[in-house]
Structure 1
């Protein structure tokens, strides 16, 4: 099996590099300065106590890949880029299995509309990508938990092979026939991403703001009758696997939305995190003022390339009263 990693940033870069180190065939898909750096100098993966640079094939788009039987597309982009990429992928590889290694729960819907074989992956991988050509993974004793299952449910041969390859690459990866339960729990956790990005991880009122967003999410998922992994199940799954440590004396600065603002990416995936909850709230008449505010705030910050941490949680809390 060859892994075509679409989006070789913090998540895709870490997964792709480790799969290659484990002897798997890997091609990275990236863009801009990051693609240039991959082609010129290789991909540097830094982890606690370890750094290395790998020379891997890198393409600027899925149309540059010579697709073949046995390939799998590992989608690691932000959700706002998914539809365009899936349409481009379908044009050149309509039968390829697609693995959604992304936050949120919308990517699987988008992929299932276009491809027959779709896998959902619940990604717990504390990593950072701020510099072209470099990704940093902060967790020990494993870099991440990457559980996988067929979408919408079940396990098949692709699920088994991908999980085995990821395990060989040093991740904790299990097959899960009800993987979307875990992805909905991860969605609830990710509702705090926008708050962290807007206010910064050191804001004294950040936790209160994030907890309010998650409480709205819990109420919306319950109203919609969606089966969600319990907090206890989630904590048990992470236990003993995910411990963040500094790399080169520096701790991880912020999560994925914070990093998007830091890089000046121009867009964030909050529409498919907080926005997912806002949409459910409208459908089931559950108020979601905190998630709506966070969505609008980080979207505004991204559009104006405002630096992360520029807002105050206390001020946002006062807005929703």
Structure 2
């Protein structure tokens, strides 16, 4: 394992050599050595039944890590007078919690009381990307599960309406760079968006324009037909890109064409540093995959938990 670590340190920008001592690649080597395989099997089974699972798992992990670090707090149920993160407005569309619960049960059957829900979620997010044609990476392990989950804290999540200054501030508060911002935005290549996340760009954009002028007119017209101004269809929306089940660099190409959904995506073209990275990733899937893997390792090392939960939805 030491050789593997040394090799990785020579290959990636943000290396595991600089990670917190609390996390390591061989954390479960003596206590649950096949945890990766167990989680992968569960994710594969779930994907065979539901093609939306990869996007859902990746989003779960991101939303978990951005609030209190990667501590599994997004998995907790509301209890008593406390409204948990999963019931916060930005998280109401999260799903595939059952995949993590199934993986936890499978792991517990072999290694009871050893592996945290936060680690299982980090592994499942990696598997979701790999099984969708994206890059792989070694997931450092040893996270603990948190005991606190508050819906009100979900307001700290970056919004699809954010401009570049708001995005930069949100990411920098978590030790993430502009390159991490652009690379992680590439996750939008997977999945589906509801109208509410991009409604601001296609209706009453500002006092001068009804539609965001940076949008390609034909694209905006299609979105307006899907999401009329008085739309009441709860699940109305559209896929993030035409290859929404494949982890590729299509999303960056769409950005350059004015064919992306979110203001936060378009914002990456508003300053030279991020615009240059969008061009780089649009022209090289390899460069995107490498950067994404590096940034996921960096994001997933944020942790502040205290226990190993027996049930991912409840504190011990």
TM range (shorter): under 0.3
TM-score, structure 2 length as denominator? 0.27
**Higher relative contact order (Cα pairs below 8 Å, separated by 6+ residues):** 2
The structure richer in helix per residue is 2
The structure richer in strand per residue is 1
